[in-house]
Amino acid sequence: MKETTPPVLTEEYTDWLVDPSLPISVDYEDPQPAIPLHHHFFDELVIVLSGAATHRIDDKDYPVKAGNVFVVKRGSIHNYQEPKGFAVANVIFDAKKLDMDHWDIRELPGYHVLFSLEPTFRDRHEFRSRLTLEGAPFTRVSELVEELAATTADKEPGYRVQAKALFMQLVIMLSKCYSDTPESDTDTTDLLRLGDAIAYIESNYPEKISNDQLARLAHMTVRTFQRTFLQSMHMTPSEYIVQVRIRNAAHLLKESELPLTRIALECGFADSSYFGRTFRRTMGMTPSQYRSKMSDPFV
């Protein structure tokens, strides 16, 4: 008799939010039971608090244990099997609504490893490049998550700002922990070197940046770097540089009154005409139209 594949459950973002106006929520599972395969329309930062289990994600099985920290990207199909004293804290978040594209934490290579590179290379590295915490860092991360959960649940005046601040602290600490991984951990070191190249773009986007420079930072040949970058970021290095420049230009258009020519130069564009064409191609409107739209509270 032919086996039937069990259905994959879909979890909506709003099902897990304590407050629909706050794009952060914490879900404790203690103990975490074996659960069916599912996927969700949100990203999930997972901190394993105790015990062990098998994590099946996108048709691959990986052992997870206390101290492991990893991101489950939206759309990934996953579940936990064979839990043994297994407890997790799931921090549910919406990066776009939190405006994480403009956090200067993006200048840390560990940030890119945690949120982009490790999930992308999880299959190739067989989960060896995951972040594992112990001792004081693990205790502090657990405390931050507990405080974040209490803040979102109690809803005291100012809780939204406090919750975002706590989440920022959590992301900063985890990114720094990743960045401090010993070089003896070769899989993670490889990702951190690629993270160095991405962080360099984030810090130096107004300047001329070559693939040779980035490849040296990543300790790769130019050809290998270009191929690896495309695989991990789903765009070429040149396309990513333009994306970062446009993203920062959009931020200046929204938050400042600088003239367009000044914004173009500060974001690495040779002239305002090229800036205008590139911005319109990327954003679907001219810089002036974007500024007008962002300044109108009723749009």
Number of domains in the chain: 2
Question: How large is the average pLDDT for residues 171-185?
Answer: 88
Alpha carbon dihedral 56, 60, 61, 62, in 10-degree steps, equals -100
Residue range 237-259, pLDDT digits in tens: 999 999 999 999 999 999 999 99
Res 170 pLDDT > 70: yes
> What's the confidence (pLDDT) of residue 34?
83
Give the pair of three-digit tokens for residue 204: 């130096």
> What's the confidence (pLDDT) of residue 81?
92
In the listed set 179, 201, 223, which residue is the last one of a domain according to the structure?
Answer: 179
Residue range 4-38, pLDDT digits in tens: 445 566 656 556 666 788 999 999 999 988 888 98
218 falls within a domain? no
In the listed set 145, 162, 179, which residue is the last one of a domain according to the structure?
Answer: 179
Q: Are the C-beta atoms of residues 82 and 54 closer than 8 Å to each other?
A: yes
Do 45 and 167 fall into the same domain? Answer: yes
Residue range 197-215, pLDDT digits in tens: 999 999 999 999 999 999 9
> What's the confidence (pLDDT) of residue 163?
96
Kindly report whether the peptide bond that precedes residue 157 is cis, defined as omega within 30 degrees of 0. Answer: no
Residue 252's domain is classified under what CATH number? Answer: 1.10.10.60
Alpha helices in the chain (DSSP H): 109-112, 118-125, 135-154, 159-179, 186-204, 211-217, 222-233, 237-255, 260-266, 272-283, 287-295
Which one is predicted more confidently, 34 or 291? 291
Residue range 45-103, pLDDT digits in tens: 999 999 999 999 988 999 999 999 999 998 899 999 999 999 999 999 988 889 898 89
Res 184 pLDDT > 80: no
Residue range 121-164, pLDDT digits in tens: 888 888 888 999 999 999 999 999 999 999 999 999 999 999 99
In the listed set 131, 156, 179, which residue is the last one of a domain according to the structure?
Answer: 179
**Domain that residue 86 falls in:** 10-179
